[in-house]
Amino acid sequence: MESTSDLEFLNYHHLRYFWTVAKEGSLRQAAEKLRVSQPSICTQIQLLESALGEDLFRRSGRSSVLTEFGQLVLGYAEEIFTLGGEVLRAAKQAPTTRSLRLQAGLVDSLPKLVGFDLLRPILEHRPHIRLACHEGKLADLTAQLATHRLDVVLTDEPASSGHGVRLFNHPVGTTGITFLAMPDFARTLTGRFPRNLHGVAAIFPTQNCNVRRELEKWFRAEGIEPRIVAEFEDGALAKIAASESCGFVAIPTSAAAEAIERYGFVSIGSSRAMEVRFYAVTAERRLTHPAIIAITESAISKGKKRPATK
């Protein structure tokens, strides 16, 4: 189907008819919900298809199912009308009872304990801030930041500007690396740290993790070659493997105390020669969102704040 005109503005009335049919599963149910006739709905959807230049439904036996393009449009419609509903609900609330929202992205290489610690000021903030967290790769999350689908991205490496938007890296922490193992595994180590890690079973982050790069550089400088038995992108899985005495694990020092308490690890050594930095990435240099300000002010109180960098 070809577009009958150059589309500049989307008709949200037509889009709502399409969205309702897709959600209800049939023209009859959609007509009952919208309180309009089935032919009227068909006309509105045909106008939308004509404007977009592609079919949204295809026949399958006696029913209609979404095309691949229809599935794509449905995803956008769901988001549009969900947000529209939230606008209406917010308008009905008294100003003092409305909750601020924060859409936060966390890179999947960021240790969960570190991520939660960075988010803790938001959960303790008064008035209440409604938090939504999304995990993913740094490039994917910063793309969402550039289109304002996210307010902030928490990461263990600085982000580069792109997608036509300047990004700013606000440092919110720095820490060393601590090596942990179960007590029975630690007792098998001989010699002094870090030489006692040479040839020893190790559980490493995957190559795309910043901590992995720091570890490899440090081990090369020390002339030590641990025996890598497993690599995990998910730090929680790495700690579970280490808790089964499969090898030692290296994590940011700021998360070590809680990992020791939760899994029963013992520390076999640590180093500040390896430095892991954490950033709150935003599309603004001067922060205005109360939740992001809470994160950076918490960093200031811990003495870890540095000027934002591009």
For residue 188, give both structure tokens.
């098998």
**pLDDT tens sequence across 200-247:** 999 999 988 888 989 999 999 999 999 999 999 888 899 999 999 999
Among residues 92, 125, 140, the one where a domain terminates is 92
Length of the chain (residues): 310
Strands 152-155 and 100-107: parallel
Pair (178, 265) in one structural domain = yes
CA 1 to each of CA 12, 56, 68: distance values in angstroms, whole numbers, following the listed order: 20, 10, 14
Residue 133, helix vs strand vs coil: strand
Q: How far apart, in Å, are the Cα atoms of 283 and each of 65, 66, 145, 260, 306?
A: 40, 36, 7, 36, 17
Quick one: pLDDT at residue 163?
Answer: 59
Number of domains comprising the chain: 3
Answer whether residue 6 is part of any domain: no
Residue 79 covered by a domain: yes
DSSP 200: -
- Containing structural domain, residue 82: 12-92
At residue 101, φ and ψ (nearest 5 deg) are -120, 145
- Separation CA 128–CA 122 (nearest Å): 8
249 with 107, same domain: the answer is no
Q: Is residue 3 part of a domain?
A: no
Q: Is 146 part of any domain?
A: yes
pLDDT digits (tens, 9 = 90+) for 25-63: 888 898 998 899 999 999 999 999 999 999 999 888 777
- The tokens for 54 are 């592609």
